[in-house]
Structure 1
Amino acid sequence: MTDSIRLAVDAMGGDLGPRVALNAAYSLANDRTLECQLYGPFDILAEQAPISLDISQSPCVHELANGSKMLFCHTDEVVTMDDRPGQALRHKQNSSMWLAVDAVRTAKADAAISAGNTGALMAMGRHLLKTFAGVDRPAIAKSIPTAKADCLMLDLGASVKCDSEHLIHNALMGSVFMESVAGVERPRVALLNIGSEDIKGNEQIRLAASSLQANEALNFIGYIEGDQIYRGEADVVVCDGFVGNVALKVSEGVAQLMVAEMREAFSSSWYGRLVGRFARPLLRKWQRQFDPDRYNGASFLGLQGPLIKSHGGADELAFRSALELACEQVNSEVAPRICRRFEQEPF
């Protein structure tokens, strides 16, 4: 376990501005001993930071009472949401995103976090950190709540189209993640499909299922349908990036609809307000259990260093969750464990 984790944070990503990342980093640094490296133009960082900065030197170091350090590192450029991944890769090498990821490559940081352009972050991560031998493409993985326990779903958009080999790799990486971070012994791995019968699905899914069934290193339980995910019937759900991204966004939309409808029901009449008062404790419990801020942070699995993508619309609490996920991955040594599994049991 790493005693003092070093996090490289792209402070300029996200829809709500750098104040979110800066406040979240400051909050976490006050609660645990770590080093937060915050990348962005000095004038913007100084304006948005929760502390006073001396911008005459770079990096500007601020030490907290508990021994934590916040390093404010000046960058000349910022990756915008309109930048194409290839353009950002070629022309934004002095950006806050590039330098945060590069800090992991040069071992100046243990993990990098950004709420910025997903395509650019993937391109930079793949270029700077590289994938492990045997891993062709990284996968975006995210924990989601279920009726029983958290479940890891991947891929959520890194590879829109996957062949059977990519699905197999994702299954292995997801299994290692749940063993390492969540402490699940022999995680149940399932392929997301349109039916549970062996004949269902396209050729790539059926080929992947055949290989996974024969692999004793994995606890493969077969196919899973969309309505089974939130029942908690699997610990790892594997799919291609197109299907995974659509499934995740639909789930988020349904959750937002439920919250909006309940608020409307409990405020539209005196009877609704009365019922709402009695239901409030139950609703608070439900909100704590399924709060999306608690699950903010998606991991780029398959890269040789931890890289975390925060939701672009994350607030301070949600961004802190992404920072905490980065710490968990470093402490759990997810990346080295994935590397060892691919060396020991290559597909």
Structure 2
Amino acid sequence: MKIAIDAMGGDQGAAVMVPGVLKAKQKYPHLEFILFGDEKEIQTYLPNPVEGIEVVPTTEVIDYEDEPVRAVRRKKDSSLVVAAKSVKEGQADAILSAGNTGALLAAGLLFIGRISNIERPGLMTTLPVVKGEGGVDFIDLGANAESKPEYLNDYAVLGSTYAQLARGVKNPRVALLNNGTEKTKGNPLTKEAYQLLSENKEINFIGNIEAREILNGVADVVVADGFTGNAVLKSIEGTALSVVRLLKQNILELGLRGKLGAVLLGPAFKKLKAKMDYTSHNGAVLMGVKAPVIKTHGSSTVDTIVACIEQIEAMVDGEVIPHIVHDFEQKENML
């Protein structure tokens, strides 16, 4: 298995991406990597050759401020574009980037390609749940600002397949994000999507779910339109960070008593942070394209990169993409 790495993407670029790859290589010696980016900068963190790690020099970088599609078309020697092309040409099995989200989505569609009968790929991440060690796959997170009921129906199948093959969930429970649990709730989009999901024999549809229940583990897959999904995800991330800041502030205001309490509760705080800190979890997957395309946060840490590489290995080993291709091609044959 060979993974293409956009070494220049993210807030810190090679300073995080390269050490993350090195740590993953130690943990998974059988994996191979191709690092794309400024050769001199990469060699700062990779001074000596490492077997199974190749460096491909590129001369351009797509910044966060760049207009995604235009940047992908014009910056042909950027680390992101050349990495995506390596997957298209079969030199790598997957791509990982912490850079411009829109540019990665555009490169995934333009170079790697959409799977037949999936009209619009969706962006999906696995969120932690309050109880247990599992998670919930949440799709779409903003790959499409506007959606049709058919898109959400596809997302349900994509998320369910991922949950089964990459996470080992048997008969995953699929829910539709809505403003109430009743089937009559929602706008025309969610009402029509509800009907399609109810009739879909490929999934275990359990009905509507409200946003407050996403992290409570009542579903294994939650489906939403891209605009709503992105807004809810940002709210979850922002709330988690605000709670941590508020907790720290209150501890400091309590003086010595607060600090002593914090010491006693230290193990519990560390466990909570490890579970809810989004920077320590897997990346977002562009579901519906012909190879694993993984986007991680621009503020990712070395451990985040390792987690994303583990995610890619699970996708490839579980043959997630081949199963999706087969399932959707079967639909075409039935038409």
TM-score over 0.5 for the pair: yes
Does 2:235 match 1:253?
no
1:127-152 per-position Cα deviation (integer Å, ceiling 9, x unaligned): 11111111111110000011233000
Within the candidate set 83, 91, 103, 2:74 is matched to 91
Q: Which residue of 2 aligns with 1:8?
A: 4
CA distance in 1, matches of 2:72, 2:262: 51
Distance 2:41 2:274 in 1: 34
Partner of 1:21: 17
User: CA deviation digits over 1:86-127, x for unaligned, max 9?
Assistant: 211221121110111111111111110011111111111101
Alignment-derived partner of residue 325 in structure 2? 339
CA drift of 1:345 comes to 4.5
Specify the code of the residue in structure 1 equivalent to 2:290: Q
Given that residues 296 and 314 in structure 1 are in contact (C-alpha distance below 8 angstroms), is that contact kept between their aligned partners in structure 2?
no
1:176 and 2:172 matched: no
- 8 Å Cα contact 2:283-2:296 kept in structure 1: yes
- Name the % identity: 35
TM-score (norm 2): 0.94
Partner in structure 2 of residue 63 of structure 1:
50
Q: Which residue identity is paired with 2:39?
A: F
Match 1:217 to one of 202, 213, 222: 202
Aligned length: 329
Quick one: which amino acid aligns to residue 114 of structure 2?
A: T
Residue of structure 1 aligned with 2:116, choices 133, 139, 142: 133
- The reply on whether 1:270 has 2:261 as its aligned counterpart is no
Counterpart secondary structure, 2:175: strand
Contact 2:38 2:58 in 1 (8 A): yes
TM-score in terms of structure 1 length: 0.91
Greater shift in the superposed pair: 71-80 or 155-164:
71-80
CA separation in 2, counterparts of 1:217 and 1:17? 40
Q: How do residues 45-60 of structure 1 correspond to structure 2 at under 5 angstroms?
A: 45-46=42-43, 48-52=44-48
**Counterpart Cα distance in 2 of 1:310 and 1:20:** 12
User: 1:253 and 1:16 mapped to 2: Cα distance?
Assistant: 21
The 2-side partners of 1:253 and 1:291 are apart by 11
Q: Given residue 318 of structure 1, which amino acid in structure 2 is its aligned partner?
A: T
Residue segments in structure 2 that go unaligned for 5+ positions in a row? none
User: Where does structure 1 lack aligned partners over 5 or more consecutive residues?
Assistant: 53-61
Whether the 8 Å CA contact 2:279–2:299 is kept in 1: the answer is no
- One-letter identity of the residue aligned with 1:225: E
CA distance in 1 between partners of 2:320 and 2:117 (Å): 16
SS of 1:63's equivalent in the other structure is coil
Name the residue aligned to 1:311. Answer: 297
Match of 1:288 among 269, 274, 277: 274
Q: CA deviation at 1:218?
A: 0.8
SS in structure 2 of the partner of residue 266 of structure 1: helix
Structure 1: distance between partners of 2:183 and 2:69: 40
Moved more, 70-79 or 81-90: 81-90
The alpha-carbon deviation at position 320 of structure 1 amounts to 2.0
Residue correspondence of structure 1 range 206-245 to structure 2 within 5 A: 206-245=191-230
Deviation at 1:222, TM superposition (A): 0.7
**Distance in 2 between the 1:335 and 1:139 partners?**
14
Q: 1:40 aligns with which of 37, 40, 53?
A: 37
